[in-house]
Every structure is written in structure tokens, then in C-alpha cells.
A and B are shown apart, each in its own frame.
Chain A
């Protein structure tokens, strides 16, 4: 079974692929749908948001959800729904850029070590081992307190953090691909290493790359929320789900529970959806990765 699906070429259209996913992995399909809605909201936040992200209205402080304010208002009268949308925008930016950076780092490290092996591989693998023994959060807190918070910093830190860890997975599948006779055939016909990597190794580790990227988006969004919650993420007044939770959310939780519920639920639903979508992608694209 796994052999057959590994042999299959990429599905001809993403639409057909996702229709198939909805049929065979309904939960993952729905996860993908939520992921798409989240992306849409993030990209078009400026258009969709009924109020400005920092537009205050002192007449309407801590109002419960209503038709005017779908998710209520916060302690200085800002519209929570609009802030959730702008938070989504930031999550999308950080999620995609950091996960993108992480994936690029994973590909470079993983393909090089996996393909060439030998001493470089030994050295880099020991470094990755050492890197992975540090608890993520501790590492994040230390680095942020040194270089300071900010969108760029967060993207670079999270990109490196997950990129190095993820290189293991790419390395593993690169080794599997390298062992295939078609890479040998390309070498023996006189192809240069770059040709072999580009036309034979990369296309065949691509399913793993796609799955890795997707799951990383979820992980990065969660990590950013954690950092922002601790005040180490994106500095105010830019709304992020993490800082919304820790700011108004925590202080006014009993007076206005929606202040905590809105960002909390948004985060939970989005990350959960991305994860089940990632699982479904993995099952459909690369069954070997199960359990990683």
C-alpha cells in the first residue's frame, strides 16, 4: 500500500487532491478548510476588520459581544473581533515566514548531510543533537532577552529553532532517496551533483517538505503566542493573539471572559486545524513519516 502511494506522482491539481482528502480524511479536510479561512482572514484583515486595530471608544468599554461588536470590546473600548483579525494577519506573516525559513534551513542541512554523509554529516548531526537537548522555550527566552523582541527577530529565532530540529526528518528521507537506483543512474550517466540534487533528490523529498512546512506553521504560531504572552514577542500596540491573552485577557477575564476566550479559541482552533491538516497531508503524501 505505502509502496503504491510512494510511487504515485504528485496529484495533478491541488483542488483534486483536497477533494480526495475531504473524502478520505474528513477531519483533515475540514482542518485544511479552517486553515484556508484563517489565511484569508489574515491576508485581508485590513478589508475585513470593521474597526481599526487600535481604535478606542471609551463609551464602549468591556462590552459583551453584540451585533456591533461580534466579540465584544476590551478594557479601552477596542473591537475584539477586529483585533483578532489583525492578530491573524500577524500570525500568518510570522507563521509563513518563520516556517518558510525553518523549512529552507531544514532542506539545506538535511539534504547536504543526508546526501553526502561522511564527516560533515557526523559534525552537523552532533550539533543538531546538542541543539535539540535545549528546551525550546528556554532557548527562545534567552535569545529574545539578548536581541530584543520584534517581528523580524521572532521570525529568525523561530526559523532557526525549528529549522535545525526539522533537518533530521529531511535528512532521513534524503538518505532513503539517495539509496534509490535512479540517483545512482543519474550519477552514472555523468550528471553533476547539483543536477542530481535538484531533479532527483528534491522532488522526491518534496512530500516530506510540504508536511514539515505545514506542521511548522502551527508550531510557530503557537510559539509566537507563547512568547507574546510572556511579553517577549511582538511589542505593543500591534495586536497578537498571545499578547491579547496576557494583556486584557488575563486581567479582565472575570469581567469580560470574551477577552480571553476570543484569542484563546482562535489559537486553539487554528493550531488544531493546521495539525490535523498536516497529519492528513502526511498520510496522503508520505506514509513513512507516521509517528514523527
Chain B
């Protein structure tokens, strides 16, 4: 483990049981995450992108140990937390916090905003005396751009963007090292998305935060990330730093994803190739053999059906694709 890495995930596998009938008999399992490895450097933003259902959230939850895993190793801040008990995890959780997609569901409607933001402090016995506690809440609210007097209000009095700021303030309360953001802006209006994205970046600069950022909207990812990993059916198919990935995507799936992003310029938009991905996303119950993308890949070769490609370094990129071997 290199000291510059805050998080290392090795060969993570998460399976969900498929059950049938009244007795919930297990008849099989789906590999929601199937051998995912990555590492995140201190102070960077590492993004996971991919279509709905490819296992982004499951990966994120596994990192936080909120999801039992089948195999793999998770090293956080130099500590192997893979086999940590719930009690051992309590201390670690102070350093890793989460921001959720749905700013409406992730705030308790019966708690005042101040109490919500201060909750992590109370949970970890770090509230201090009354003055310290309220001072810290005020400070946090200011940090994320909320007004102090909003502390006495309830979440339903706030807009989506403001609620997401409340979530961020809560995540910051314990001075965490890593914040896992699971689609933090995708539920917001487009105009608000940029604001919240900028806030996250600004906080990163000021507080030296590290983000694991999950999104399916590539324009946000391009704006905020240092490195990007593209997931497809539970695997990372391509990983590179942001500029490399966006300027020279290699994997056909990455290319297709990028091609699907609308261009702001109407002329470019008109030229944008329509569809590079063929058909529907396959079911995780019976994933395709070999390279799981071959059923939808315009460049598929015979070998793609038989063997899963190995992950190799290709220039600046970590890539799993037969086209490049």
C-alpha cells in the first residue's frame, strides 16, 4: 500500500442471492460487483461511471462496509478493514462519510436541520459543550453556504439544492478524509447541479478532501474528476485520468458512453453519432460469456465471446479489451 493512497480496493466481489417462492429459497446469485479493483489517492476525485445497475452503488456501499462482500480486500487509510467488526468500524466511519443521491430521503423529516448536521458529532461523542456544538454547526452551515438561522427549520422547508448542502454539511461534521458521493447531483435541477458540483470542488481545495464520486452524467464527471473508471456489468472496463479518458477513450463501451453525451454546440450535436451501443443491457442473472460487453459491441471479435479480456496497461489507460491486446 502506497502511503499516498487513502483507499485501495482489490478484487471486490459482491453477489446478491436470487430467491424464489414463499420460502425465499435461493436459486442462484447475481454478481453485482465482479472483481473490481481500484485505488484512490489522497486529495483526488475518483469517479465511477456506468449505466444504471452496473454496480456503482454496490461498490460504494462495500467500501463503507455497509454491504457484505463475497471476496476482495478493502484497505482504508493504511488499515485493512475487510474483516472489521461493526464495533471496529465505528472508529473508521468517522473518517469516511457519504452523500446520497436523493436529498429528500436522506434527511430525517422530523429532525431540525441543526440537529441533522450535528448528528455525527453526537454519535461520536464529539459534540463538546453546548457552545462548541452550536458553534460547530454554525461553522458547517457557513462552509456549505447555508444561513445560520436555518438551523431551526425542518428539511421540508428547503429546496433540493439546499438539502444537498445540508447533507454535505453533515458529511463534513467529523472532518472526514473520504467522502463517498453516490450521484450527489443527479436528482437536482441542471442549474443547481453546477452549483453543488462547484461547492464540492471548492470544499476539496479548502479541506483537502478525497471523493469517491459516482455518476452517470459524464459532463458532471468531466468537470469534477481527476480519474475516472468506467463500469459495465459489475466490472471496471477502463480507467484513466480524466483528460486521457475524455480525449482518447479506448474501450468501445467508453466511446459509446461519450458519444451519447449531448454537445452544447448545436453543430457538433448534429454530427454526433447516434447510437454506438446495440440493444439492451443484458441481465445480470445470466451475464454473457467472455467479455460481457460483446453482445452490444460493434467491434466484437470471435475471441470476445470466449475469453474475458485481462486488464492491461495501455499507455495512460488501464484497459480490459481484446481490441488492444
Binding site for B on A (CB under 8 A): 4, 6-10, 180-182, 184-192, 195, 199-200, 203-204, 206
> B124: which A residues are within 8 A, CB to CB?
190
Q: Is there an interface contact between A188 and B156, defined as CB atoms closer than 8 Å? A: no
Q: How far is the CA of A182 from the CA of B156 in the complex (A)?
A: 14
Known A9-B110, A204-B109: A185·B90 in contact at CB below 8 Å: no
Known A8-B109, A8-B156, A9-B154: A190·B64 in contact at CB below 8 Å: no
Asked if B66 is at the interface of the complex by the 8 Å CB criterion, the answer is yes
Q: Is there an interface contact between B123 and A182, defined as CB atoms closer than 8 Å? A: no
Asked if B94 is at the interface of the complex by the 8 Å CB criterion, the answer is yes
> B90: which A residues are within 8 A, CB to CB?
190, 192
Shortest 5 CB-CB contacts between residues of A and residues of B: A190-B93, A181-B106, A7-B156, A181-B105, A182-B108
Q: How far is the CA of A4 from the CA of B109 in the complex (A)?
A: 11
Q: Is there an interface contact between A190 and B94, defined as CB atoms closer than 8 Å? A: yes
Interchain nearest-CB distance for A87 vs B (Å): 39
- Interface positions, chain B 52-106, Cβ under 8 Å from A, are 64, 66, 89-91, 93-94, 97-98, 100, 102, 104-106
A contact face: mostly helix, strand, loop, or mixed? helix
Q: How far is the CA of A279 from the CA of B269 in the complex (A)?
A: 57
Q: Is there an interface contact between B64 and A203, defined as CB atoms closer than 8 Å? A: no
| Most chain A CB atoms below 10 A, which of B90, B93, B97, B109 | B109
Q: Is there an interface contact between B105 and A180, defined as CB atoms closer than 8 Å? A: yes
B contact face: mostly helix, strand, loop, or mixed? loop
Interchain nearest-CB distance for A219 vs B (Å): 27
> A199: which B residues are within 8 A, CB to CB?
108, 111, 119
Q: Is there an interface contact between A189 and B123, defined as CB atoms closer than 8 Å? A: yes
Q: Is there an interface contact between B100 and A10, defined as CB atoms closer than 8 Å? A: no
Q: How far is the CA of A185 from the CA of B166 in the complex (A)?
A: 13
Q: How far is the CA of A10 from the CA of B109 in the complex (A)?
A: 9
> A195: which B residues are within 8 A, CB to CB?
123
Q: How far is the CA of A182 from the CA of B111 in the complex (A)?
A: 11
> B156: which A residues are within 8 A, CB to CB?
4, 7-9
Q: Is there an interface contact between B98 and A188, defined as CB atoms closer than 8 Å? A: yes
Q: Is there an interface contact between A190 and B110, defined as CB atoms closer than 8 Å? A: no
Asked if B138 is at the interface of the complex by the 8 Å CB criterion, the answer is no
> A7: which B residues are within 8 A, CB to CB?
104, 109, 155-156
| Nearest chain B residue, comparing its CB with the CB of A204 | B110
> B111: which A residues are within 8 A, CB to CB?
199, 203
Q: How far is the CA of A187 from the CA of B93 in the complex (A)?
A: 9
Asked if B107 is at the interface of the complex by the 8 Å CB criterion, the answer is yes
Can you give 18 A-B contacts (C-beta < 8 A)?
A7-B109, A9-B110, A10-B110, A181-B100, A181-B102, A181-B105, A182-B107, A182-B108, A185-B98, A185-B167, A186-B119, A186-B123, A192-B123, A199-B108, A199-B111, A200-B108, A203-B110, A206-B110
Q: How far is the CA of A6 from the CA of B124 in the complex (A)?
A: 29
Asked if B252 is at the interface of the complex by the 8 Å CB criterion, the answer is no
Q: Is there an interface contact between A189 and B109, defined as CB atoms closer than 8 Å? A: no
Interchain nearest-CB distance for B155 vs A (Å): 8
Interchain nearest-CB distance for A116 vs B (Å): 14
| Nearest chain B residue, comparing its CB with the CB of A195 | B123
Q: Is there an interface contact between A187 and B66, defined as CB atoms closer than 8 Å? A: yes
Q: Is there an interface contact between B154 and A185, defined as CB atoms closer than 8 Å? A: no
> B106: which A residues are within 8 A, CB to CB?
180-182, 184-185
Asked if B235 is at the interface of the complex by the 8 Å CB criterion, the answer is no
Q: How far is the CA of A129 from the CA of B186 in the complex (A)?
A: 43
